[in-house]
Amino acid sequence: MAPTLLDRLNLEVGAQLQVGNAILTISDVVLAEPDQPVNFFFLGPRIFISADDLGRLDLLKKRSRVRYSYLIKVFDQSQIDAIAVRLRAAADEDLEHVDTFRTARSGVKRFFDNLLFFLGLIGIFTLLLAGVGIQSALAAFLKENETTIAIMKTIGATSRFFTRHYMVILSILGLGGTMLGFLGGLFLQNALNILFVGFVPRNVELHISWQSVIQGLGLGVMVVGLYSFLPLYRLKDIKPVAVFRKETIATQKGWPFYLITSLLFAFFLMLVFWQVQDVKTGLYFVGGVILLIIITALLAGIVLYILKRLKLKFLIMRQAIKGLFRPKNATKPIIITLTASLSVLFSIYQIEQNLDAAFIQSYPADAPNLFFLDIQPTQTERFSDILGMKVQYYPIIRARILTINGQTINRQKERQRRSDNLARTFNLTYRNYLLEDEMIIKGNRLHNDDWGDLQVSVMDTVAKIKDMDIGDRITFNIQGVPLQARISSIRTRTRESIRPFFYFVFPEKTLQDAPQTIFTAVKVPGNRIPQIQTKIAANFPNVSTIDVSETLKIFTGVMKKLSLIVRFFALFSMVAGILIILSSVLATRFARIQEAVYYKILGAKSDFVVAVFTLENLFLGLVSAVLALVLSQTSSWIICSNVFNISYTPFLVESFYLIAATVSLIVVVGLLPSISILRQKPVIFLRNQSQE
């Protein structure tokens, strides 16, 4: 048995324990279970017994709910899939499920499948933004060497020569970046041990997957190659006359531009479908990313249009805003990249805060914190006496839906839904009154007096799955007995809480004689919970007790840990925006030096120049952060309202702190590479220009 149960019962290995009608000897202690790290809702400590002792317990009787799992060892692994196919063909798909070790979805596997699926999508999104950063950085690098290229073209160098030359340089830089990435990956793998502590079972060890390393190198080569093509191709547009005119090269969009754009889109699609392995989900993700970038680009364009036409009295602010529109400043790509990445980070934070507020912080003071399951109908009166309080009992009858209005439920299709579905087993109940947190939104009353007993009230949550309405007929399979009922009303819940609720409520006379179990929920002081659990276990061995307060603690820890993991990986998308800021400063280095020199010649002090550059970055960060906040608030509201079905709170004060932190980071990143520009002496700059 589990060590917590040994402590609770004050027993040791070798002691005897009565389970059902059998006396068993405690032979060992279960220290860890593979599924336990990610199962925060469980029915208490486990007891494992020998299969030979099962009959002696005398617990398996009529109405008993039992789940059997058979683990079979196939020695010839080449026959596993063939055997599984034959077993699935013989199985009842509603009651039996066949898996192999390749397809089994244990609690740990489900957890990591979902987590890695989400992190994979974040990785693709980050890779897309990083590609934009690579292209912008390379364009800035080539811009710095524009004069050198023009001079060499005057003495006979060709565009092909420069393309080969910079391809070699790019290969060297790419190789260095690859090695840094590989070393960074090794470092991050060690960090994952800290991030995933508590989730990964103790016997799981992380190791280097060389297949993943090769895949990563391949992706890196493809990303660098695709995003580097256009800057290298545009080398042919640099003319020798640029040496004399200092002209800005006009960007020409010919067939290479449209070809590489198409290849980038195809590459993006390939990555998504490779990661998602589902066309529908992949298209949703691609559509969502494209929509995010389009909306971000439109909003950025509108804001920049307004800023460009502002009439400001203060010289510092006027010059700072004009600096945003400096040639080659890449202001719009910076805002788009930062806004897109920040909106993802802000959305994760907003959703986490709303989940915490809905399920943890808003837990009502009078809400039940102890749930008792599997009470038998004959035990209710004595159970209340032992508990020492008046309680409300909720009967449960297990059933499946067969048809709705004569249309058979397509179970295979229903199981493909990511949310709730009609193929699962439902808990039915019976009563003739509404709970205090329920209200009728369709129909006059819970059940109609003139409809007889074959009627049912439906919760609006399940009614939306199949678009059910008053008068529709639902056929249930209750313990093998078909029962058809008309929908008499549709209910909704007036508030989100931990209180019991049911999707389907029948009149009392309909189901009171059906095979059933009963549960109840009570509110007791926290210090009395262990005492009550021990008392109930001693008097009602068949009753399972759930301490919801303990479950909430575990849930809170899991939520915070998951949020930390997701934010850790999502932060990499910020690197792309920071890279573009740095490349923009480098690309406009000459123009910035020229501005700083002119300011100083006209009598401005260094403080004025610093203030102008600071305000320029401040505007850049403020626009990006505010747009990201607007997008994240909108998306978080949609997700909380439609996916989690919880009320939404914008958390405006926390949002202000997010904006302040983001703007501060962007100002610092923008100013650091400008230090050498601010130190430039006017006389040295003018002398160099006259010599040129």
- How many domains does the structure of the chain reveal? 4
Query: Does 529 fall in a domain?
Result: no
* SS3 category, 394: strand
Residue 361 scores a pLDDT above 70:
no
pLDDT value for 364? 61
What confidence tens digit (pLDDT) does each residue in 469-484 have? 899 999 998 877 899 9
In Å, how far are 46, 113, 395 from 42, measured between CA atoms?
10, 21, 21
The Cα–Cα gap between 679 and 656 comes to: 34
Q: How far apart are the first and last CA of the chain?
A: 85
In whole angstroms, give the CA distance from residue 433 to residue 446. Answer: 7
- 673 and 636 housed in the same domain: yes
Lowest-confidence region among 196-205, 329-338, 604-613: 196-205
Per-residue pLDDT tens over the stretch 274-290: 777 777 777 887 888 88
User: Which pLDDT tens digit goes with each residue over 387-443?
Assistant: 888 888 889 888 999 999 988 888 778 777 766 788 888 889 999 888 888 899 988
The residue-averaged pLDDT of 327-350 equals: 78
How does residue 491 score in pLDDT terms, banded at 50, 70 and 90?
A: very high
Q: Same domain, yes or no, for 344 and 430?
A: no
Query: pLDDT class for 40, splitting at 50, 70, 90?
Result: very low
Pairing mode, strands 426-430 and 504-506: parallel
The answer to the question of residue 412 being in a domain is yes
* 671-674 contacts at long range (C-beta below 8 A, 24 or more positions apart): 671/610, 671/613, 671/614, 671/617, 673/582, 673/585, 673/586, 674/585, 674/592, 674/613
Average pLDDT of the chain to the nearest whole number: 78
For residue 671, being part of any structural domain is answered with yes
Phi, psi of 311 (to 5 degrees): -105, 100
Same domain, 427 and 515: yes
Choice among 164-173, 269-278, 624-633, 655-664 with the minimum mean pLDDT: 269-278
**pLDDT surpasses 70 at 36:** no
Residue at which a domain ends, from 249, 277, 305? 277
Q: State whether 354 and 388 are in the same domain.
A: no
pLDDT digits (tens, 9 = 90+) for 402-415: 999 988 888 778 77
Higher pLDDT, 179 or 552: 179
Residue 100 confidence class, pLDDT cut points 50, 70, 90: confident
Q: Is residue 80 part of a domain?
A: no
Element housing 23 (H / E): strand 22-25
* Whether 40 contacts 547, CB under 8 Å: no
Q: In degrees, to the nearest 5, what angle opens at C-alpha 64 toward C-alphas 60 and 70?
A: 70
Q: How far apart are CA 450 and CA 458, in angstroms?
A: 18
pLDDT at residue number 458: 93
The pLDDT of residue 418 = 63
CB 341 within 8 A of CB 577: yes
Residue 328 above 70 pLDDT?
A: no
Q: Are residues 176 and 223 in the same domain?
A: yes
Q: Among 227-241, 250-264, 480-494, which is the least confidently predicted range?
A: 250-264
Residues 406 and 511 in one domain: yes
Please determine, for residue 452, whether its predicted confidence score (pLDDT) is greater than 70.
Answer: yes
SS3 state at 602: coil
Q: Does residue 503 sit in the same domain as residue 448?
A: yes
Q: Which residue has the higher pLDDT, 21 or 241?
A: 21
| Co-location of 217 and 158 in the same domain | yes
Q: Which residue has the higher pLDDT, 104 or 450?
A: 450
Question: What is the H or E stretch that residue 28 is in?
Answer: none
Q: Within this chain, do residues 445 and 557 fall inside the same structural domain, yes or no?
A: no
Residues 457 and 557 reside in one and the same domain: no
Distance between alpha carbon 333 and the CA centroid of its chain, in Å? 26
Task: Give residue 416's domain range.
Answer: 370-522
Of 115-129, 290-304, 384-398, 652-666, the range with the lowest mean pLDDT is 115-129
Q: For residues 237 and 383, state if they share a domain.
A: no
Tens of pLDDT, residues 184-194: 777 777 666 66
**Domain presence at residue 485:** yes
Residue 146: CB partners within 8 Å, gap ≥ 6? 238, 242, 249
* 135 and 269 within one domain: yes
More confident call, 291 vs 673:
291
Q: Is the pLDDT of residue 457 over 70?
A: yes
Q: What is residue 260's predicted lDDT score, i.e. its pLDDT?
A: 74
Model confidence at 37, in pLDDT bands (50, 70, 90)? very low
